[in-house]
A and B are shown apart, each in its own frame.
Chain A
Amino acid sequence: MKSRRLTIPYIIWMLVFTMIPIVMIGVTAFTDKKGNFTFEPFEKAFVYSNVFVKSLIIALISTAICLVLAYPLAYLLTKMRKSSQRTVVMLLMIPMWMNFLLRIYAWMILLQRNGPLDTALSLLGIHGTYIGNTAAVIVGMVYEYLPFMVLPVYTVMSKIDPGLIEAAQDLGAGNASVFGKVILPLSIPGIISGVTMVFVPSASTFLVSQYLGGTDDIMIGDVIDKIFWTDENTGAAISLVMMVFIFVFLVIMNLFGDEEAIA
């Protein structure tokens, strides 16, 4: 098993089914329908720049909410008995195993007009619409990706050596400074991989906004989906821009932490 030949099928596979398709996106983005070189697709893509910005904002807000919800949860988890830890983690994973579309659909039922939430709040005298707005899209995103934030943060936190915490306490640190000077800095790799795992899919996904959002809550993924079937070139240009953005984001995240946390 010293041989490197075993990698050859995989390298060929990656070349044909990963690298060449990406190059094809690049080529398609710079050509017109007849195959001549042009910047036209990017000019057309520019029309969607506000959708692009809105997608990034929605993704950022969702990521931030996931972090705010997940961090205390992960911290509380590490304080529990091992068996209860495993139960809670399992409970978090179960909804993830249901189909992506069914999870979103479940929120459509819950939030719809005269749906359970509407009925319950009406009894309390609160009336409103809970679907068809940006907030509903963000709720959907948070629901979809919350476990992706909890799991890496929890994994990193549970590996923190309890001896370090005891040492800090022996040296006179109170609860707040134990948290701020030991636990928080040591959990940063988990935060970084959690943020990456939530931000990338929520910035690029589609359907969530179609089902839960209003007419102006279109995200860039929906635009790519809609446009690609009729105008490959513009679709490719938007995909390329999105890919560049995401890679810049990954590089920035990489600067904050060591590489292993990202991969």
Chain B
Amino acid sequence: MKKKRGISSKLYIALIMIFMYAPIVVMIIASFNKGNTIAWKGFSLKWYGELFKDKALMGALLNTLSIAVLASFFSTILGTAAAIGINNFKGKSRAIIQNVSNFPIISPDIVMGVSLMLLFTFLGNIFRFQMGYGTVLISHICFCVPFVVLNVIPRLRRMDQSVYDAALDLGCNEWQAFYKVVIHEIIPGIVSGFLMSFTYSLDDFIITHFTQGAKFQNLSTEIYAMLRRKIPPTINALSTLLFAAVIIIMLLINLRDRREEKMKADTYTNTK
């Protein structure tokens, strides 16, 4: 009885995985196809060569990466400071600030994109600027900060307040107490906030689409433009490379986690 359930559950998980990976596998195979269409014409790496010659696409990739780094960096600072401040509020005012802070997470992307576009065109008419790199960066920070706040606040709540007080008693000023004590307690929250911001920023299409202006392109909007013209097979090569990058990053993170766990387990048995 138990064994039978084991097999059917494995089968179910396998089916879901086929559903999740079938499109990706098809895309990977197509990326090595010599022909222009899906019909197999023989193995070739020519689309990878063309990919790296595509200056627009490479520029867009660079934009995506730099926006993701900058947006998650600024969001982490802004969000961590905000989380510490919010943690000092009590009761109703705290609930209000937190609800407003969650707003970009729960409101649909398209509404955020459209509303920011209205703001930027309005401000652009007054201060004579056009949408581009700067407005996209601001918009990305907008939807990233709430994730940092959400990740840092639980850490602050769990922190033992007396550690901070002890640091002050021992002669630290507020800033020293922060970077010598508090930051060590909340760093896991800060890191996961940063990583979440980074991934959301990398993946964003909708908000960038509305705030990019005439000249700026990131990877998503460039792919969008490519798909509108016609479907070039270089996209398959691009997807394959991105997929490989994701796999490598995931494996590295997984390895790091396992090592940390092992270290934790070791120290645990040692102290015992």
Q: Which residues of A contact B (CB under 8 A)?
A: 1-11, 13-14, 17-22, 24-25, 28, 69, 72-73, 76-77, 79, 86, 88, 90-95, 97-103, 105-110, 112, 114-116, 143, 146, 196, 200-201, 203-207, 211, 221, 224-225, 228, 232, 235-236, 239, 242-243, 246, 250, 262-263
Contact = CB atoms under 8 A, between A and B. Distances in A.
Contact of A101 (B24, B223, B249, B250): B223
Minimum-distance CB pairs A-B, first 9: A7-B85, A106-B23, A21-B115, A10-B82, A204-B108, A6-B85, A6-B81, A21-B119, A76-B9
Contacts of A224: 110, 114
A97 B253 CA distance: 14
A22 to B, nearest CB: 5
**Could you tell me the dominant secondary structure of chain A's interface residues?**
helix
Contacts of B70: none
A246 B105 CA distance: 12
B182 interface: yes
B115 A24 contact: yes
A19 B175 CA distance: 31
Contacts, number: 219
A100 B235 CA distance: 13
A102 B114 contact: no
B126 interface: no
Given A24-B118, A200-B108, A1 B219 contact: no
A263 B122 contact: no
Contact of B38 (A69, A97, A116): A116
Contacts of A232: 118
Given A94-B247, A98-B243, A143-B23, A201 B178 contact: no
A101 B220 contact: yes
A95 B111 contact: no
B58 interface: no
A28 to B, nearest CB: 6
B65 interface: no
Nearest to B239: A102
Given A101-B220, A106-B26, A92 B20 contact: yes
Interface stretch (B45-53, B199-207, B264-272): B199-207
Contact of B88 (A3, A94, A207, A235): A3
A25 B115 contact: yes
A106 B28 CA distance: 10
A105 B235 contact: yes
B136 interface: no
A97 B203 contact: yes
Given A100-B220, A116-B26, A243 B108 contact: yes
A207 B205 CA distance: 10
A196 B249 CA distance: 29
A13 B78 contact: yes
Given A98-B243, A106-B26, A90 B254 contact: yes
A106 to B, nearest CB: 3
B85 A243 contact: no
Contacts of A115: 26, 38
Contacts of A93: 250
B16 A201 contact: no
Contacts of B12: 72-73, 76
B117 A106 contact: no
Contacts of A235: 114
Nearest to B253: A90
Contact of A25 (B79, B97, B114, B177): B114
Contact of B84 (A6, A97, A243): A6
Contact of A95 (B24, B150, B231, B235): B24
Q: Which of B17, B209, B236, B243 has the most CB of A within 10 A?
A: B243
B213 interface: no
